[in-house]
Amino acid sequence: MSLEDAARDVREMAYVPYSNFKVGAALRADTGAVFVGCNVENVAYPEGTCAEAGAIAAMIAGGARQIKELVVIADSPTPVPPCGGCRQKIAEFAAGDVPVTLLSMNGARLDTTVAALLPGAFGADHMERG
């Protein structure tokens, strides 16, 4: 199964009773394994958790630590980029040149990279002392 198909399939599992805005994400780790996530809302946190964060959590729980490719899909007129918090999480587990594909259910597509999504990302090297 392709990452696009995996993201499209898991998107249908999203729990979004407040926004009805389903998002799916699939990533391939350096191990070759594929991990998926969908957004989840609840009454205390109606904006919910993001699909990308769910896929990353699944990757960590599965024992992998490095993203090699990421796909995100939503039903919107144009591809939806990850939120700022998810961009930072993605940058924690992916090199800047890792491909990110953003898709819309209507077929719109944007191919980008982690570095293009979060230029100047905060990283461990910022905490080094000279």
40 is an annotated ligand-binding site residue: yes
Q: Look-up: residue for tokens 């191990």?
A: 31
Residues 6+ apart with CB under 8 A from 80: 23, 72, 74, 102, 104
Annotated catalytic residue within 4, 12, 47, 52: 52
Q: Which of 125, 124, 123, 126 is nearest to 114 (CA)?
A: 123
Q: Determine the Cα–Cα distance for residues 51 and 39; give it in Å rounded to an integer.
A: 4
Cβ partners under 8 Å of residue 63, min gap 6: 31
Q: Per the annotation, does 38 bind a ligand?
A: no
106 is in an annotated binding site: no
To the question of whether residue 50 is assigned a binding role by annotation, the answer is yes
Q: Does the annotation flag 18 for ligand binding?
A: no
Active site includes 52?
yes
Q: Which residue positions form the known binding site?
A: 39-45, 50, 83, 86
Q: Which residue positions form the known binding site for substrate?
A: 39-45
Q: Which residue positions form the known binding site for Zn(2+)?
A: 50, 83, 86
Question: Which residues have a catalytic role annotated?
Answer: 52
